[in-house]
Amino acid sequence: MGAAEQVLKQYFGYDSFRPGQGELVAAILSGRDALGVMPTGAGKSICYQVPALLLPGLTLVISPLISLMKDQVGALTEAGVPAACIHSALSPAELDETLYLAESGRFKLLYVAPERLTAPSFLELARRVPISMLTVDEAHCISQWGQDFRPSYLGILDFLAVLPARPLVSAFTATATAQVRDDIVRALGLREPLVKVTGFDRPNLYFSVERPSGKPAALARLLAARAGKSGIIYCATRKTVEDVCEMLCAKGIAATRYHAGLDPEERRQNQDDFLYDAKPVMVATNAFGMGIDKSNVSFVIHYNMPKNMESYYQEAGRAGRDGEPADCILLYSGQDVHTARFLIERSHETEDETLSPEERRVLLERDMERLRQMTFYATTTECLRRFILRYFGEDAPLSCGHCGNCDTTFEEVDATVDARKILSCVYRLAERGLHFGKVIVSAVLTGSKSEKIEQFSLDTLSTYGIMADRTAARVRGLTDALLERGLLQSDPERYNALFLTPAGNALMRGRGDFVLKLPREKKPEPKTERRRAVPLDADVDERLFERLRRLRAGLSAKAHVPPYVIFSNATLSDMAARKPITEFELLSVRGVGEAKANRYGEAFLEEIKDYLRDTVD
Ligand code: ADP
Ligand code: ZN
């Protein structure tokens, strides 16, 4: 076993590196700069924490959020790694003490916010203490084209320049567009770095997209099938969060809510309720989740489609961090596209005034393009996993066999004639200077007799009633498909009134055809059986697992830390399968390192011994 593996085992309790981790660690230990692009949950921290323990001096970690720093330092301390953080919430006395301890070489890792790099007291420390490595976490913050640009990240290069010797530089991010990657390498001045894009696949996650006619009912059905499990439901707006949470509570589901409009006290309380499983279901906007590492989230449902794949995958990726099978379900409707477009436009209106009109235009276009990609995901009939992996720059086989689309057979339906009828109807309305949304258009086509029809004498149109043999819902569905393919456009400023595009005009005039892929009736079969589950030990003793879980709950309440900080569910399962009774055996359980074995080992070993005694007759 190499030194790195030994550290991995001793401090973190893991037997082997995940793909990508080993290469990054080896590169760093050989003295090479490195950039790791891995999604949330793939294990970026290990890539610099393991080298930090082996390098002679201090590793400085630049991290953008206090909560992230505290979590990391808390977890490291638990694992027996000397680490600390410096942030604006420390008192002057605490700051002095941390600086003093850092100077005397007490820490292997020191987390700081980028703003700190220009503080005189910190610069003084940095010049005196030997720094082996500078690690930039959330490195995409340095890119002006990235999601959350932080100008202070641009100061990192200046900081490196004032150090007596340039340390190794490593950077990590979950955001992976090629442009952002190049920006990071350039702006941090990385020297021939090993760039590793990896781990975007999360084999235990099952992706699916549903297009329910009613979302509340669909959500209730999904939750009923997941009773007692912990999950997050993401909504596009605060209002939707409140409505959905209220509906779920009325149904007796233990749900809580989170969005930026709630007062900080309620936010904190609700977050804790969720973390400690008092309320296993969290309904939230995208304000929720940054820095939250709850490992037993078994589903993430998007009640609305997010603005881009980056957000979607990051949010969905909060499911199944313990490696257990988990579901990521997107409930899609055409309306989501309008909402997302509206949110994007609004965010650009309130943007930083220092941007030139040209820069604004570029950013707006980039966001619209990302929304288009997101909509492709929601409407594609191809393998969803492949779509995701290719989006993030990783190769993938044509079919994964473990997503909603791979599990659905689609059949091709030629809808050219119907499509032409709809397009003609929009065209004839426009001739009269009228523009309506899909509800009225479908009413005209199916020959319905409503007030609006009479009011505008729409029954005198040549297209009135030409689809009387179809249901209005079917016509609306086809209209959505025409919108998605860009044959029609809708104007959100005018109640989503429909307009013909040049491509729509061409199809109406007989050029091209309109073929849809529709899901064939699904055979009702229980999904759980077909899951390519993560290897879970068949020998897990459920009763013992329950006892260990109760023990963990007690310890967690006593230590004021969430249960998964003590041991994850995966670790408890493994423990309930192996039934260790000596400390040595305990150390072979997945996720048990020396520090945790010292701190909690005895309690768990006692519980297991008691259990074995109780079950032997
Ligand atoms: P990221 O920073 O990329 O979001 P983390 O570093 O928080 O991810 O790691 C996610 C989870 O994976 C953590 O629970 C971590 O302990 C676990 N993990 C990381 N590396 C390994 C490994 N080699 N084997 C098993 N589990 C690992
Ligand atoms: Zn698939």
DSSP single-letter state for residue 153: G
Nearest CA residue ID for atom 5, ligand 1: 43
| Sign of the CA dihedral running 346, 347, 350, 354 | negative
pLDDT recorded at residue 534? 41
Cβ-contact 60, 83 below 8 angstroms = no
The verdict on the CB of residue 40 being under 6 Å from ligand 1 is yes
Backbone angles phi, psi at 130, to 5 degrees: -70, 120
List beta partners, residue 283: 233, 257
The verdict on the CB of residue 274 being under 6 Å from ligand 1 is no
Instruction: Name which of 446, 316, 465 is nearest 378 in CA terms.
Output: 316
**CA distances (Å), 244 to each of 216, 223, 280, 450, 605, in order?**
8, 12, 15, 32, 43
The verdict on the CB of residue 386 being under 6 Å from ligand 1 is no
Name which of 88-102, 457-471, 535-549 the model is least confident about: 535-549
Indicate which ligand has the atom closest to the C-alpha of 11. 1
In the three-class reduction of DSSP (H, G, I as helix; E, B as strand; rest coil), residue 110 is classed as strand
pLDDT recorded at residue 530? 38
Nearest CA residue ID for atom 10, ligand 1: 41
Instruction: Name which of 538, 535, 551 is nearest 604 in CA terms.
Output: 551
Cβ-contact 567, 608 below 8 angstroms = no
Nearest CA residue ID for atom 2, ligand 1: 44
Indicate which ligand has the atom closest to the C-alpha of 318. 1
Instruction: Name which of 474, 525, 519 is nearest 209 in CA terms.
Output: 519
Instruction: Name which of 236, 131, 144, 153 is nearest 182 in CA terms.
Output: 144
Ligand 2 centre from 304 Cα, in Å?
Answer: 21
Report the C-alpha gap between 391 and 372 in whole angstroms: 12
Indicate which ligand has the atom closest to the C-alpha of 386. 2
Ligand 2 centre from 418 Cα, in Å?
Answer: 31
CA 566 to chain centre: 24
Ligand 2 centre from 292 Cα, in Å?
Answer: 28
Q: Which residues lie at CB < 5 A from ion ligand 2?
A: 383, 385, 400, 403, 406
The verdict on the CB of residue 21 being under 6 Å from ligand 1 is yes
pLDDT recorded at residue 92? 93
Report the C-alpha gap between 226 and 212 in whole angstroms: 18
Encode pLDDT of 282-301 as tens digits: 999 999 987 777 889 999 99
In the chain, what is the greatest distance between 2 CA atoms, to the nearest angstrom?
Answer: 89
Going by C-beta distance under 8 Å and a sequence separation of 6 or more, which residues neighbour residue 124? none
Encode pLDDT of 306-351 as tens digits: 999 989 998 999 999 888 999 999 999 988 998 899 889 888 876 6
The H-or-E segment that residue 34 falls in is: strand 34-37
The verdict on the CB of residue 42 being under 6 Å from ligand 1 is yes
Residue 145 banded pLDDT, cuts 50, 70, 90:
low
Ligand 1 atom having least distance to the Cα of 18: 23
Ligand 2 centre from 207 Cα, in Å?
Answer: 8
Ligand 1 centre from 210 Cα, in Å?
Answer: 30
Query: Do the bridges between strand 488-491 and strand 497-500 make them parallel or antiparallel, or are there none, so unpaired?
Result: antiparallel
Read off the amino acid at residue 184: I
Cβ-contact 171, 59 below 8 angstroms = no
Residue 213 banded pLDDT, cuts 50, 70, 90:
confident
Residue 40 banded pLDDT, cuts 50, 70, 90:
confident
Residues 568-602 as b/e (b if ≥16 CB within 10 A, e otherwise) read bbbbbbbbbbbbbeeeeebbebbbbbbbbbeebbe
Report the C-alpha gap between 367 and 357 in whole angstroms: 15
Residue 304 banded pLDDT, cuts 50, 70, 90:
very high
Ligand 1 atom having least distance to the Cα of 14: 24
In the three-class reduction of DSSP (H, G, I as helix; E, B as strand; rest coil), residue 488 is classed as strand
List beta partners, residue 515: 414
Encode pLDDT of 507-521 as tens digits: 999 999 998 877 765
Encode pLDDT of 340-381 as tens digits: 998 898 888 766 677 788 888 888 888 998 999 999 999 998
Ligand 1 atom having least distance to the Cα of 12: 16
Structure tokens at 473: 């819902």
Q: Hey, how many other C-beta atoms are within 10 angstroms of the C-beta on 433?
A: 6
End-to-end CA distance of the chain: 42
Read off the amino acid at residue 336: D
pLDDT recorded at residue 264? 95
The verdict on the CB of residue 11 being under 6 Å from ligand 1 is no
Burial label, 329 (beta-carbon count in 10 A; 0-12, 13-18, 19+): buried
The verdict on the CB of residue 314 being under 6 Å from ligand 1 is no
The verdict on the CB of residue 306 being under 6 Å from ligand 1 is no
Ligand 2 centre from 343 Cα, in Å?
Answer: 30
- Classify the phi-psi angles of 612: left when phi > 0, otherwise alpha if psi is within -120 to 50, otherwise beta: alpha
Residue 146 banded pLDDT, cuts 50, 70, 90:
low
Q: Which of 5, 21, 46 to mutate to test the pocket of ligand 1 (most atoms within 8 A of CB)?
A: 46
Contacts of 424-433 spanning 24+ positions with Cβ under 8 A = 424/462, 424/463, 424/508, 425/461, 425/463, 425/466, 426/488, 426/498, 426/499, 426/500, 426/504, 427/500, 427/505, 427/508, 428/461, 428/462, 428/463, 429/458, 429/461, 430/499, 430/500, 432/461
The H-or-E segment that residue 551 falls in is: helix 542-559
Ordered strands of the 230-234 beta sheet: 205-210, 326-331, 297-302, 230-234, 281-284, 255-258
Residue 390 banded pLDDT, cuts 50, 70, 90:
confident
Report the C-alpha gap between 550 and 554 in whole angstroms: 6
Ligand 2 centre from 244 Cα, in Å?
Answer: 29
Radius of gyration for the alpha carbons in the chain, expressed in angstroms and rounded? 28
Average pLDDT over residues 370-393: 92
| N residues, the chain | 617
Q: Which of 10, 12, 25, 136 to mutate to test the pocket of ligand 1 (most atoms within 8 A of CB)?
A: 12
Report the C-alpha gap between 28 and 35 in whole angstroms: 10
Name which of 122-131, 206-215, 318-327, 523-532 the model is least confident about: 523-532
Report the C-alpha gap between 211 and 209 in whole angstroms: 7
Average pLDDT over residues 466-494: 86
The verdict on the CB of residue 76 being under 6 Å from ligand 1 is no
Q: What is the pTM of this model?
A: 0.62
Which segments of 155-242 are extended strands (E)?
Answer: 168-173, 194-197, 205-210, 230-234
Cβ-contact 386, 399 below 8 angstroms = yes
- % of the chain with per-residue pLDDT over 90: 61
Nearest CA residue ID for atom 23, ligand 1: 17
Encode pLDDT of 447-461 as tens digits: 998 888 999 999 999
The verdict on the CB of residue 46 being under 6 Å from ligand 1 is yes
**CA distances (Å), 118 to each of 113, 290, 379, 561, 563, in order?**
10, 26, 48, 33, 38
